Chains A and B, each alone.
Chain A
Amino acid sequence: MTLDLTVAKQMTGGELLRLRKKRGTIALALAAVLVPLVIMTGYDVVKHASDSVHFGPAGGLNTFGRLLDLLGVFMGPVAAILIGAEAGAGDLAAGVFRDNVLTGRSRIALFLSRIPAAVAVTLTVVAITFAVGLACVFAFAGGLPTPGLSLILQSLGWLVIANSIVCVIAIGIASLTGSRTGTITALIGWELVLSPLVVQATSLGSFRRGLLDSVLLFLKPGPATGPPAIPMPVVVAIVVASLWLLVAAAAGAWRMQTRDA
């Protein structure tokens, strides 16, 4: 068991090394979250500076809510998808998958080692952006109320859950399809275009509870900003989020097990 744990830690360390050294992907993921934050905040600062009567300060509680939308619903998941897709299909793209299989190591273990590594990199990217965003929330608050420690911690927890789930889904889909580009295109298209449209399609009624975005918006702490949350029992939210996570991970693990090396 001790040996298994040592091997698991070592395998995760190996995955972490290969992911964090993928500088292009990391830079793109950071840019995906930081650039919109800088644009959003810069725009608000300029507006407030030019007309403080009609436009409030660029910080405060409301900006904090928009920061959470950015990091938990829109661009944070994009970063998670970029990193998750690299983790899920990077070894196949490089041709190293066969070598890993040739070690005799269980394919499930190979798949599982991707998850903590990719989640760790994703959360680092999100944490950096969250820290920058939070600094802006306080720095440009003017006289507006700012989030308390409790709300900040709750929000961090929510961001960890939201981005980890999306990252695992991306790993699962990339492992299933074996294609980084395909996974990134499909999931970003879903995340940024289709899912927000479906969430707002009231004609679909309670079916919308089955969407991951609905669940994440429902669980989001702090002030209501962005798309409206669909009410649902907490149990339903947990079950739906778990199903998304487990189905994607199981599909990826299954393909990993059956893939011709």
Chain B
Amino acid sequence: MCAVRAALTVTGMQTTHAHQDHGGAAVETEGLTKRFGDRIAVDGVNLVVPRGVAYGFLGHNGAGKTTLIRVLLGLTRASAGRASVLGLPVPAERARALARVGAIVEEPSFYAHLTGYENLKVAAAVRGPETRARIEPVLERVGLDKRSRDRVGTYSLGMRQRLGIARCLLSDPELLILDEPMNGLDPAGMLDVRRMIRALVQDEGRTVFVSSHLLDEVEKTCDVAAIIDGGRVIAQGSIEELVADEAGELVIECNDTVRALELLAGDSRVHDLRAEHGTLRMSLLARDQAGDINARLVTAGLVVTRLEPARRSLENRFLEMTTRLEVAA
């Protein structure tokens, strides 16, 4: 199966970060492969993560997301291929690259006996002298300033995730790599993290790489995404491109679905007509015929309340692609 490589068209976002620019994408890999014995966890991955976007890295549990992140961060060596982070090759220039990266791999861990503030103080000590002054601002940034003197052992998972992001922000990173940041969060916690990621990208011009198996969250949070399955990237592009309706399907909602169905059943311009969840779904020979269909329904005395191209969710797209792969296998 060839990897589907969609063109990246991300507009309206500019990186405003003040770090030294080494050029290139935030993350770039070419033929990246990681084997554990006979098992291939990451299989020839070609990835381009543009700067200044929220990038979703989508896949089932065990699809190879965390392994790829671990390779990018130099926690484990690739078996083949090459990778660069912020324009610097890794692992050759890992230390320089990581100085400008904040990352959470799997779940954020802390010393439970220390307070949130003290944990960041210990983390800042490892990161360098300039980071200490950033402790209070980043705690405020993630909304933990009022609980920063409490022991981390008393924090909820959502608070730990936010403290993890605060720790990432200590070194004022250009790139944040967050592995499953929504894991275990309640809806309010997810919303918090989602808003924070959007603000990091839109307000601060950072690049955020989010791995997740929660398709809905990636769709809501990210501008660009890649889908990984069985260690291979099977699609990559903007969210709009990934969910775009290739079949030209139309959704119509009106006051009498049964009558509308009867009316359009014999129309030669309409194909695959069906009623679904109180709406009509159909394919047209040409998109510009939607107006004629609307006119026909209105003329027949029906009240059309909604008429729009069908938009698949990322979830549908993901399931379609991975199911297709399973069938092909």
Contact = CB atoms under 8 A, between A and B. Distances in A.
B101 to A, nearest CB: 8
Chain A at the B interface: SS class: helix
Interface stretch (A102-110, A215-223, A227-235): A102-110
Residue of A94, A101, A103 ringed by the most chain B CB atoms within 10 A: A103
Given A17-B122, A98-B75, A103 B113 contact: no
B99 A17 contact: no
Nearest to A6: B129
A227 to B, nearest CB: 38
A157 interface: no
B114 interface: yes
B73 interface: yes
Contact of B125 (A13, A21, A106): A13
Given A10-B129, A17-B118, A103 B171 contact: yes
Contacts of A90: 111
A182 interface: no
A21 B94 contact: no
A104 B98 contact: yes
A21 to B, nearest CB: 6
Contacts of B73: 102
B121 interface: yes
B155 interface: no
B329 interface: no
B98 A21 contact: no
Contacts of A110: 126
B96 A104 contact: yes
B97 interface: yes
Size bracket of the B interface: 20 to 34
Interface in B36-62: none
B94 A260 contact: no
B109 A104 contact: no
B287 interface: no
A3 interface: yes
A11 B98 contact: no
Contacts of B113: 21-23
B112 A3 contact: no
Interface in B116-138: 118, 121-129, 132
Residue of B95, B101, B128, B171 ringed by the most chain A CB atoms within 10 A: B128
A14 B132 CA distance: 11
Contact of A18 (B94, B103, B122, B129): B122
A104 B114 contact: no
Contacts of B111: 18, 21, 90, 94, 96
A104 B171 CA distance: 11
A100 B110 CA distance: 11
Contacts of A51: none
B128 A101 contact: no
Given A7-B128, A14-B126, A98-B75, A103 B98 contact: yes
Residue of A7, A21, A104, A261 ringed by the most chain B CB atoms within 10 A: A104
Nearest to B123: A99
Contacts of B124: 10, 14
Contacts of B108: 99
A36 interface: no
B96 A98 contact: no
A18 B75 contact: no
A43 to B, nearest CB: 35
A95 B109 contact: yes
Given A96-B109, A102-B73, A260-B75, A17 B114 contact: yes
Contacts of B112: 94
16 contacts: A10-B128, A14-B121, A14-B122, A14-B124, A14-B126, A17-B122, A18-B111, A18-B118, A21-B111, A94-B110, A96-B111, A102-B73, A104-B101, A105-B95, A105-B126, A261-B75
Given A14-B125, A90-B111, A94-B112, 16 more contacts: A10-B125, A14-B122, A17-B118, A21-B118, A94-B109, A96-B111, A98-B109, A99-B108, A99-B123, A102-B73, A102-B98, A102-B103, A103-B126, A103-B127, A106-B95, A260-B76
